[in-house]
Amino acid sequence: MIHYIDDLTITTDKAGAREYAKVSYPIRYGVYDEIKTRDYLFQFDLRGEIKYIQGRREDWPNPAEWLKRTRGNDWSYYSSGDYNGIVGRFGEYYFPCLSYVSNSIMADKPFLSRGVQRAFFAAGRLLERISRIGSGAVPEEIGRFFARSAAHDEKALVRRARQFHRIIGGRVSVLPPDARHADYEVIPLILADGCLYNCGFCSVKAGRELTARSRADVTGQIAGLKRFYGPELRNYNALFLGQHDALAVGADLIECAAQSAYDSLGFEHSFMETPRLFFFGSADSLLDAKEGIFRLLNRMPFATYINIGLESADAATLEFLKKPLSGGKIRDTFTRMCAINREYERIEASANFVIGLDLPPSHLASLSQLAKDAGGPFCGKGHFYISPMVRDSRSGWEEKRALLAQFDRIKAATVLPTSLYLIQRL
């Protein structure tokens, strides 16, 4: 329903797309509320928390780009950049520029622009304004929308993010790259803490041994998340089983967590279509996994994505990275991944590899050879994700250009879909 108050155009219960898509124009998903002013478009989730901002002023970087806020209260700026370059390197039409230090090798710095900074200021002023309007003579529906939105000012959003992280027992340090297929709109459910390897190069390692959570902890998280998301659950049907190696916890806990979350969080009744399940695995957890776990996942009501951190198939590079695996085990794991992709219709396994200017020269050759030899015929599934090892957050464009050249060399050498992997937290 559309209402007009002074210069504000207010639309409540606006329906966006029901299926995540790869498109070259701005798109919104799910059901949301919206306030349009002369200078900005503000969109709110069903709890009244601001989620998107799109500028309409001349100082806004690009009219087809927007800001998006995550559940962990981070902002990303969705940049269209050069469409050809973005699509070829990320598999998407938009590149999320992050407001925190990551491994990005793109040149965009939108958060430094005056237009973006003004948009954040304008959002705060809007909340103050609707708080005043909400106490006046407005339709009841608009009054409720204004009240719940005005209550979620900047300080309230910080408190909400802390509450979110308390429920799951900490911040999610990295999401799987395949989560881009759900625009990173995933509900996290932590099954294990720590990591099998704690590799020396890794910037997101936990620094502790892998330890599975109990069933009671998992069911407690689900109950807490159900209360936390509330009416906004209507817009979710994607689940991330964290943190770094959920595959290692075994079939029983994975089945319990995934099915309980699907039932309790109402994924069957979501506005969004195609429920998705994302999690990480490791070389050992994948090679040790019995066929039963993949048959189980293939029967579940999700399209499942398993992402495995392999890093390199070159012995010298693995030693340099302080990753305690052999090149032979990496190749065996990749072969197993390709077999899973061919055998199980509803499961897709992908692999992460690194690039870096300090890595041994044999590394790139090993990746090219692995892509040619390890998997047999391409079955239409599986993905090479390439994670740049940026030396320093202040690294100049020359270093980043050299890393992009490495990526382009790998992409040209394989028939497998290949994309850059941007480390995003939640």
**For 238-279, how does the pLDDT look when each residue is reduced to its tens digit (9 = 90+)?**
999 999 999 999 999 999 999 999 999 999 999 999 999 999
224 class by beta-carbon count within 10 Å (0-12 exposed, 13-18 middle, 19+ buried) = middle
With 90 as the cut, is the pLDDT of residue 372 above it? no
Q: What is the pLDDT of residues 133-186, one digit of tens each?
A: 866 678 888 989 999 999 999 999 999 999 999 999 999 999 999 999 999 999
Q: Which of 397, 289, 407 has its CA nearest to residue 339?
A: 289
Average pLDDT over residues 111-131: 96
What is the band of 284 on the pLDDT scale with cuts at 50, 70, 90?
very high
- Cβ atoms of 161 and 214 closer than 8 Å: no
With 80 as the cut, is the pLDDT of residue 107 above it? no
Question: ∠45-46-48 over CA atoms, to 5°?
Answer: 70
Q: Please tell me which residue, 180 or 411, carries the higher pLDDT value.
A: 180
> Left, alpha or beta for 86 (phi > 0: left; psi -120 to 50: alpha)?
alpha
pLDDT given at position 111: 94
Please state, in angstroms and as integers, the Cα–Cα distance from residue 68 to each residue in 96, 356, 422, following that order: 9, 30, 16
Q: Nearest 10 degrees: CA dihedral of 291, 254, 421, 364?
A: -30
Question: SS3 of 373, please?
Answer: helix
pLDDT given at position 186: 98
Lowest-confidence range among 176-185, 307-316, 371-380?
Answer: 371-380
pLDDT given at position 135: 65
Please state, in angstroms and as integers, the Cα–Cα distance from residue 295 to each residue in 19, 226, 341, 343, 347, following that order: 26, 28, 12, 10, 10
Question: ∠180-182-184 over CA atoms, to 5°?
Answer: 60
* Buried b / exposed e along 115-131 (16+ C-beta atoms within 10 A): ebebbeebbeebbebbe
pLDDT given at position 333: 96
With 80 as the cut, is the pLDDT of residue 375 above it? no
pLDDT given at position 398: 82
pLDDT given at position 369: 85
pLDDT given at position 205: 66
**φ, ψ at 32 (rounded to 5°):** -155, 170
With 80 as the cut, is the pLDDT of residue 363 above it? yes
Pairing between β-strand 384-388 and β-strand 347-355 as defined by DSSP bridges: parallel
What is the band of 368 on the pLDDT scale with cuts at 50, 70, 90?
confident
Query: Domain residues of the chain, as ranges?
Result: 2-157, 169-420
* Mean pLDDT, the chain, whole residue set: 92
Q: Which of 323, 395, 411 has its CA nearest to residue 359?
A: 323
pLDDT given at position 288: 97
What is the pTM for the complete model shown? 0.95
What is the band of 391 on the pLDDT scale with cuts at 50, 70, 90?
low
What is the band of 412 on the pLDDT scale with cuts at 50, 70, 90?
confident
DSSP letters, 34-90, are: EEE-SSEEEEE-TTS-EEEEEE-STTSS-TT-EEEE-TTS-EEEEE---HHHHHHHH
**φ, ψ at 237 (rounded to 5°):** -155, 25
Lowest-confidence range among 174-183, 200-209, 227-236?
Answer: 200-209
Average pLDDT over residues 290-303: 97
pLDDT given at position 393: 56
Rg (the chain; Cα; Å): 22
What is the band of 197 on the pLDDT scale with cuts at 50, 70, 90?
confident
Average pLDDT over residues 120-133: 94
With 80 as the cut, is the pLDDT of residue 416 above it? yes
Write the single-letter amino acid at 131: S
Q: Which of 423, 426, 425 has its CA nearest to residue 202?
A: 423
pLDDT given at position 400: 84
Q: How far, in Å, CA of 152 to CA of 41, rounded?
A: 17
Of all helices (H) and strands (E), which one includes residue 190? Answer: strand 187-190
Q: How far, in Å, CA of 261 to CA of 246, rounded?
A: 15
With 60 as the cut, is the pLDDT of residue 78 above it? yes
Write the single-letter amino acid at 377: P
Q: How far, in Å, CA of 302 to CA of 294, rounded?
A: 12
CATH code of the domain made up of 169-420: 3.80.30.20
Write the single-letter amino acid at 75: W
pLDDT given at position 140: 86
Percent of the chain clearing pLDDT 70 (strictly above): 95
